[in-house]
Structure 1
Amino acid sequence: MSAPAHPTGGTTLLVIAKEPVPGRVKTRLTPPFTPDEAAELAAASIEDTLRTVLTLPALRRVLVLEGRPGPWLPEGFDVVPQSAGTLDRRIAAAFGLCAGPAVLIGMDTPQITAPLLAPALAPDGWEGCDAWFGPAEDGGFWALGMARPDPGLVQGVPMSLPCTGGLQRARLVDAGLTVRDLPELRDVDTAEDALHVAADAPDGRFAAALSRLGGPVVR
């Protein structure tokens, strides 16, 4: 049986992620979850994210991975290793892989749906638009897109701070780019985040894993 066809488009979709190794991923979920449980949730989060990306129109789908692929990786992705250095440098290097329009997302928003990213991936998504920005509730960002990827517009932005998103968006605007915004989403960092995100996507693998591990899904 041939592999399923995936929708094509003119934009490269990048997913930056970390191999779900116990004790090295989602450490803020511990406690209440054990390192093994946190890694299980991380794997479910990656899988939900990647399977949604497969439904989106893309020129190329690239997993920018720290670590090794696992059974959570579906077919349909090119896998490239993350560069060394701080997160801003790793994101910048990911954009450096692209010669044309690119949108980058992370592994922390398993509740993403095709409609959330549709504006940036529509045939006219880059008309009159130089960049797409998806803010996160914690002050960061969950999506970043550039019509003409410029690693220098990310490198040097301090990451994982309440001001990160504002600084990154300002960097784009100050460079003279026309920026459009995607809906705000909540990252999975803490157990409380996990409950809310699972409630937003109750049919996903992440919600199922959380329920199996004893985390009730809030409704």
Structure 2
Amino acid sequence: MGRCFSSPTIKNKKYGNYNQNFTLYDLNWSYSRINDRNVKKLVKSINQCELVTKFDLNLSFNQITAAGAIKLGESLGQQLKLLEFSLNLEKNQIGDDGALKIGEGIAQCFNLTSFALNIVYNQISKYGIANIGQAISLCKNLQRFVLNLDYNQIEDEGVSYLAKGISKCKFLKYFAMTLKNSNLSDESAQKISKAIQELPTLRSFELNLKYNMIFNLKNHDKKYQKILRLVNYKLTA
């Protein structure tokens, strides 16, 4: 049973009298029967927080569609001071249009150092993931990056967009991505491995490609094997 909708609970880490003084926006509305209309109300609250540097929003297992995700993306695009961002939309129905708009919003957050996005089970294809890949490439200060895309239809072409974006994050230290059951082949594993080779500061990564058509995940060239010896890693296929 989901919880009834209520006003957002926001943690204020910079004690002030107005939303504009908040530096941390931390909200958990998972399993709460949240729909697009509720998201519209939430966005009004987010838009008042002009000084937010850390954004943690959990809206997993709700009833949010592309319309709600578009509103979220537009709001994120206004949070220009963000340093840390985490958004959980697992098991909604945002689709490609919603993913595209969220990508556009993230692309405006140039100062991000930590980025985590969970969009598992959201009917997203390679078209929807394209903007997210481009957004990652613009966040050049990223040090920590987590992306959960399980049970979508990303395909090898979608992974190409992601790999290209990841390779631009030259300060990345930690990287984790899950792509279970995403209609991928060995080509995707190769593209991700090449992207990893472009990350000179990387010290730890996790990659989960279970339930795809991956057969040669660990059989890469000597340069890649050298990279693996330099970092803590976990590969699953």
TM-score, normalised to structure 1, is 0.29
TM-score, normalised to structure 2, is 0.27
